[in-house]
Structure 1
Amino acid sequence: MGRDVNLNRLAVFVALVRAGSFTAAAVQLGMTKAMVSQHLLRLERELGITLIVRSTRRMALTEAGAAFHADCVPLLEQAEAAIERVGTQRSTPTGTLRLTTSTDYGTAVLAPALAEFRRLHPLLHVDLVINDQINDLIAERFDMAVRIGWLRDSSLRATRLGGFRQFVMASPAYLVEHGTPRRPEDLSVHGWIAMSALATPLRWTFTRGRTRRIVRMRQVMQANNAAAIRGLVLAGAGVSVLPDYLAEDDIRAGRLQVLLPQYHLLEGGIHAVYPDPQPPAKVRAFIDFMRDRLAKR
């Protein structure tokens, strides 16, 4: 029988007991006195028991009605508290923000950004997972991922946070020993450190105005993430492509030199990817924070 009970009628019943009369309850609930009476009658019919006895002037709980009321009050209070907690998560960044990104971007950019974001939202906990795999956000219970480069087709939602440029780089020591390339074609005789995670790690397209030049490199080493490639280039092991966010400090300090600056490589995107069609406040706040932060770079 309980499976057939309309739970909305519980709130009307509790409000009626609290108000002490059908007239007062109708005013509090914003409905007519007849509607309050109908809700009570249907609730009693659904339960198969009388909850309130009433006359033209007064009403009183039955023994069963008093016991049922005592059970309903905490039930409704818990429901209201649950709704309020959900509303808080919708409007205020709280709980734990669990996110993932690549090793190089997580270490160089996301970790310091999260430290600042956490200072702005002290009620929030952060769980950052960095690796070079494409995590299953739903199965692994991630709120979001920050993905670098070019997105694959998926059913997930994505928001662009910003972009990054790619540069061909070498250490000054390498260039002293092997010479500085002047044209894209010159790179084919240099030792290339390949990013093995790319679909075509040895084939690169250079643009200058309307001119496009495609060059195939000669691989001497390879690595599976940009941080490792940066270390190899810094050590003078060869030439490679690095993203601006990973090499800016090295360029300023003179540890790395940009080659062929008059040519451009394809720019990549930085995206927030998330499974929730209505993301909670913690996700929306971090997306806004990162978009503003990257715009100021």
Structure 2
Amino acid sequence: MANEVNLNRLAVFVALVGAGSFTAAAEQLGMTKAMVSQHLARLEQELGVSLLMRSTRRMSLTEAGVMFHADCVRILNETDAAIERIGESRDTPAGTLRITTSMDYGVAVVAPAIASFLKLHPAVQVDLTLGDQVSDLIAERFDLAIRSGWLRDSNLRAVRLNGFRQLLVAAPAYLAANGVPRRPADLAGHVLIALSVLASPSRWIFTSSNGKRHTVRIPQVAQANSAAAVRAVALAGAGVAVLPDYLAEPDIRAGRMVALLAQYRLPEGGIHAVYPSRQPPAKVRAFIAHLRDRLVEAAV
């Protein structure tokens, strides 16, 4: 029987009891007195019980009506509270924000952004998962992924936050022992610590200032599945490496690494916020905006 009841009639019934008359309820609801009466009659028919006893002058609840009215009031209050909660979720950042990103970008960029984000939004808690495998956002219940590089085709929504340059680098000790390459062709005499998750880890395209492209294959001496590990091996002097600017530039400024072939450009990658929901909640929108602002500030 419950699935045959029009739930909109519950609000009419509660309004009728609260108003005390069909006329007052009709004015409150913005409908005719006949329509209020019709809703009550159909509700009683759907339930199979009488809810009101009425005469020309007064109306009173039946025993079943008293119990049903109390339940209706509770249901409508819970509905109002649920709508209010979902509205708060839509408009105010709150709750747990589950983020996934790569190990290197997470440590270098996302984790510091989380710290400043939490100061702005104390009602949010963050659960950050770092890993270099692409996570299934829906199956693993992530709200948001921050992905660097080149996006795969998918049905997920994505927002480009920024881009990054790729830099060819090596430790000073390695260069002292093996010489400094002056042009892309010189890399044939060097060895590469490669990032194995790339489609072509040892093949690189350098573009000169006049737009001429130089494709080279660098002999590979080692590989790792994370840029942070590639950086560590390169810092130890094992070979040259191609690293994203956010990972390499602190080492270059500190003198731990040397940028090579600066007159050439390597392909640039993108930083994207990826999320599964067509209408992301406020906590997701707020973090995307916060991270984008930090990236813009860092680039100035």
CA distance, structure 2, for counterparts of residue 257 and residue 142 of structure 1: 38
CA distance, structure 2, for counterparts of residue 65 and residue 107 of structure 1: 62
| Aligned residue in 2 for 1:111 | 111
Matches within 5 A, 1:7-18: 7-18=7-18
Q: After TM superposition, give the deviation of residue 19 of structure 1 in Å.
A: 1.5
1:108-132 superposed Cα distances (whole Å, 9 cap, x missing partner): 1101101110110000010000011
| Aligned residue in 1 for 2:177 | 177
- 2:41 is equivalent to residue 33 of structure 1: no
- 2:93 is equivalent to residue 100 of structure 1: no
User: What is the identity, as a one-letter code, of the residue corresponding to 1:276?
Assistant: S
| Aligned residue in 2 for 1:295 | 296
CA distance, structure 1, for counterparts of residue 13 and residue 238 of structure 2: 78
CA distance, structure 1, for counterparts of residue 19 and residue 188 of structure 2: 86
| Aligned residue in 2 for 1:144 | 144
| Aligned residue in 2 for 1:274 | 275
| Aligned residue in 2 for 1:284 | 285
Q: Give identity over the alignment, percent.
A: 68
CA distance, structure 1, for counterparts of residue 150 and residue 75 of structure 2: 49
Q: After TM superposition, give the deviation of residue 27 of structure 1 in Å.
A: 2.5
Q: After TM superposition, give the deviation of residue 262 of structure 1 in Å.
A: 0.8
Q: After TM superposition, give the deviation of residue 240 of structure 1 in Å.
A: 0.7
CA distance, structure 2, for counterparts of residue 230 and residue 274 of structure 1: 29
1:63-116 superposed Cα distances (whole Å, 9 cap, x missing partner): 111111111111111111111111110001111000100010111110110111
CA distance, structure 2, for counterparts of residue 138 and residue 39 of structure 1: 42
Deviating more after overlay: 20-29 vs 77-86:
20-29
Matches within 5 A, 1:31-110: 31-110=31-110
CA distance, structure 2, for counterparts of residue 41 and residue 246 of structure 1: 72
User: What is the identity, as a one-letter code, of the residue corresponding to 1:259?
Assistant: L
CA distance, structure 2, for counterparts of residue 188 and residue 289 of structure 1: 43
Task: Describe the SS at the equivalent of 1:135.
Answer: coil
Q: What's the TM-score once normalised by structure 1's chain length?
A: 0.97
User: What is the identity, as a one-letter code, of the residue corresponding to 1:295?
Assistant: V
1:139-185 superposed Cα distances (whole Å, 9 cap, x missing partner): 11111111110000111111111111100001112111111100011
Matches within 5 A, 1:190-269: 190-208=190-208, 209-269=210-270
CA distance, structure 2, for counterparts of residue 68 and residue 77 of structure 1: 14
CA distance, structure 1, for counterparts of residue 100 and residue 228 of structure 2: 17
CA distance, structure 2, for counterparts of residue 116 and residue 202 of structure 1: 38
Task: Describe the SS at the equivalent of 1:295.
Answer: helix
CA distance, structure 1, for counterparts of residue 195 and residue 238 of structure 2: 14
Aligned residues: 297
CA distance, structure 1, for counterparts of residue 196 and residue 297 of structure 2: 31
CA distance, structure 2, for counterparts of residue 227 and residue 279 of structure 1: 31
Task: Describe the SS at the equivalent of 2:204.
Answer: strand
1:170-212 superposed Cα distances (whole Å, 9 cap, x missing partner): 1112111111100011112101111111110010000113200
CA distance, structure 2, for counterparts of residue 28 and residue 112 of structure 1: 54
CA distance, structure 1, for counterparts of residue 2 and residue 191 of structure 2: 76
| Aligned residue in 1 for 2:167 | 167
Deviating more after overlay: 30-39 vs 65-74:
30-39
Q: After TM superposition, give the deviation of residue 28 of structure 1 in Å.
A: 2.3
User: What is the identity, as a one-letter code, of the residue corresponding to 1:281?
Assistant: A
- 2:125 is equivalent to residue 125 of structure 1: yes
1:12-45 superposed Cα distances (whole Å, 9 cap, x missing partner): 1111111112222222223222222221111111
User: What is the identity, as a one-letter code, of the residue corresponding to 1:50?
Assistant: S
Q: What's the TM-score once normalised by structure 2's chain length?
A: 0.96
| Aligned residue in 1 for 2:6 | 6
CA distance, structure 2, for counterparts of residue 31 and residue 199 of structure 1: 66
CA distance, structure 2, for counterparts of residue 232 and residue 73 of structure 1: 67
Stretches of structure 2 that go unaligned for 5 or more consecutive residues are none
CA distance, structure 2, for counterparts of residue 96 and residue 28 of structure 1: 40
